[in-house]
Amino acid sequence: MRRFFYYIFILIAVTELSTVMTSCRHSRTVAALVEADSLMWTRPDSSLALVRSVSPDTLDDENRAYHALLLTQAQFRNNIYPDTDTIINRALDFYADNHNRERLTRSLIYKGLVYEVNVKPADAMAWYLKAEENADSMDVKNRAYIFLRKGVLYCEYFSKYHEDIHNFKKALFLYEKLGYVQQQIFCLSKIGGLYREYYPDTAITYLSRGLSLAYEVKDTTMAFLLEEYIARMNIHLNNYTQAIKTLLPIVTAHEEFSTNDMFLDLSSAYASLGTPDSARFYYDKLVGEPKDSVEDVIRNKILIRILASEGNYKEAYELGEVTRLRENRINDNELKNELYQTTERQKNDYILNISQTSVKQRYTIIWSVLLCVVLIVILIFVNYKNRTKTEVLQTLIEKRQELLLKANSLERKNNKNFVEKQIELIRQSLRLYSMIPENKEIREDLNIDKKERKFLWRVLTGYLDEEYGGVVTFIKENYGANISDFDLKIIALELCGFNSNEIAICLGYNSDSSIRSRKSRIKEKMGLEETLTEYLNKKKTESRDKEGN
């Protein structure tokens, strides 16, 4: 026997240990996902490694959806772009029904990103619009990223809407509230770049703000890029000296990080100022062959300016003729390409309009249909309920009127069948009476009038004595000195099975509290240990038992 209990104890201990170990493993897994989420923007490579270390097969539905969301997000943060939306759909399907608004918003954003990187701008915009509609007003981080992605799409594919700057400015405002400097620099560079063509002074203001932030966080890559943007703006404004002042320190101190664009801009500025030696010096620093004919034309134009400054007019003229023919061919090709791009843009604009309209119309139609269905159901229910109640009440009224007409011929007789029908009809009427307080006319038809009460008391006592072995007469004989006629009426109605509310209506009272109080006094008068109802039920049971014997 001891050995049996020993085995049982070992089994329980092993089971508990297994449960604890499973729970610990699950806790560590969930902790890894939470940590990956916290590292997403500061250390995306570590975040991706943490997410990949967790097997989704070991997770429940909620954490599997969380894993899919984090995996997609970490891939984008590490410049790994998925070809399909299979993974993010796992998160989207779960959070659509899970009421986690923040994670649903994130899932909608990254669903749009999948379409964006796969060059489906209209579909991407539709998902960003859904994300914006779902995002909580206090969810600043996700709302800022939605505006940023919308700004990129408008800039690249839907420029005619003039919404790109508007969205970048909203994203910039929110990132300033969050204190996210890298995102602020990106937005400032985009806004400055978009203002370059029409408002160069405003463009330089935004680019200078971005440059200041880039140096503040020591982001040399963005700093050099913004310096180059500002220098080119100055060249377009013929501020060649300012352009040189901007670029020369960078190229001198960090030549290994300098780009061909910087060398071209310096060469162009020096050539425009009539300094061919410096222009030639930086022109010769250009590396690699031109990637396309446009870059080749730009290089040739700067070289023509340098040759002219050096006095090599013949060579400059010959190169100019070659460049002009090449530029004409480029312009012809660009016209064709622009026509194609315009057609594609119009197609995307049409799809975008449909997507934007369909998102709003879909919700409007759904809510309208639901509202109509609810109203129709309510109307049908109310109509059915009123019709059924009215039909039942009318039937009861007609039956009772028929019985009252017979009352004159039966009032001297103790007609058991008639009395039972009358009691049942009264009971049904009383129950319906409480259901229709708003309809006074029907209540008056159902109420127990004086004539009916008079008839009821006349036949009821004899009926109850016959039905329950003389119980009313027994009470009169044994408790007659203390029991009044009114008390006997309450006892008679209680024997008929009426509750306190129904007895109150029969006796003309507005509330059943008076009847309950009267029952308590009757109990005291009769000296009963149990309640009056229990006492009468016991008498009815004894009467049935006697009849059965």
Provide the percentage of residues in the chain whose pLDDT is more than 90: 10
Res 505: pLDDT? 73
397-409 b/e with 16+ CB inside 10 Å = b?
eebbeebeeebee
* Of residues 187 and 500, more confidently modeled: 187
DSSP string, 196-247: TTT-HHHHHHHHHHHHHHHHHTT-HHHHHHHHHHHHHHHHHTT-HHHHHHHH
Q: Which helix (H) or strand (E) holds 290?
A: none
Residues present in the chain in total: 549
- Give the Cα separation of 247 and 304 in Å (integer): 22
Q: Bigger pLDDT: 409 or 485?
A: 485
Mean pLDDT of 9-26: 51
pLDDT of 21 higher than 50: no
Give CA–CA dist 448/444, Å, rounded. Answer: 8
Token pair in block for residue 119: 């060059």
pLDDT beyond 90 at 465? no
The answer to whether residue 400 scores a pLDDT higher than 80 is no
Lowest mean pLDDT among 70-74, 180-184, 454-458, 518-522: 454-458
Q: How far is CA 221 from the centre of its chain?
A: 39
* pLDDT at residue 406 is higher than 60: no
Task: Report the phi/psi class of residue 470: left, alpha or beta, with left for phi > 0 and alpha for psi in -120 to 50.
Answer: left
pLDDT band at 147 (very low <50, low <70, confident <90, very high): very high
The owner of tokens 């049996």 is 4
Distance between CA atoms of residues 234 and 204, nearest Å? 9
Cβ–Cβ < 8 Å for 277, 310: no
Q: What does the pLDDT look like over 240-289, one tens digit per residue?
A: 888 888 888 888 877 777 788 888 888 888 888 888 888 888 888 887 77
Q: Is the pLDDT of residue 72 over 80?
A: yes
pLDDT at residue 24 greater than cutoff 50: no
| The pLDDT of residue 346 is above 60 | no
SS3 of 315, please? helix
Task: Give the model's pLDDT for residue 286.
Answer: 80
Q: What is the pLDDT of residue 20?
A: 42
Tell me, what's the pLDDT at 438? 45
**pTM for the full predicted model:** 0.54
Q: Do residues 263 and 243 lie in contact, with contact meaning Cβ atoms separated by under 8 Å?
A: no
Q: What is the mean pLDDT of the chain?
A: 76
pLDDT of residue 155 exceeding 90, the answer is: no
Q: Residue 457: is its pLDDT beyond 70?
A: no
Please state, as a whole number, how many other Cβ atoms lie within 10 Å of the Cβ of residue 7: 10
Phi, psi dihedrals of residue 518, rounded to the nearest 5°: -65, -40
For residue 74 the two structure tokens come to 């970490």
Please choose, from the candidates 194, 272, 279, the residue with its C-alpha nearest in 3D space to the C-alpha of residue 238.
272
- Residue-wise pLDDT for 88-144, tens only, equals 898 888 888 877 888 899 999 999 999 998 988 888 988 999 999 989 889 899 999
Average pLDDT, stretch 179-195?
Answer: 90
What pLDDT, on the 0 to 100 scale, is given for residue 339? Answer: 47
- 3-state class (DSSP) for residue 527: coil
- Higher pLDDT pick, 114 / 356: 114
- Token pair belonging to 456: 């009821």
Mean pLDDT, rounded, for 316-326: 77
Q: Could you give the angle at the alpha carbon of 359 between the alpha carbons of 355 and 363, nearest 5°?
A: 160
| 245 contacts 264 by C-beta, under 8 angstroms | no
What are the pLDDT digits (tens) for 423-450? Answer: 666 666 665 555 554 444 444 444 555 5
pLDDT > 70 fraction of the chain, expressed in percent and rounded: 71
CA distance 521 to 505: 20
Does 210 have pLDDT greater than 50? yes
pLDDT reported for residue 223 = 85
Region 463-483 average pLDDT: 76
Residue 1 has pLDDT above 70, yes or no: no
pLDDT at position 526 is: 83
241 vs 497, higher pLDDT: 241
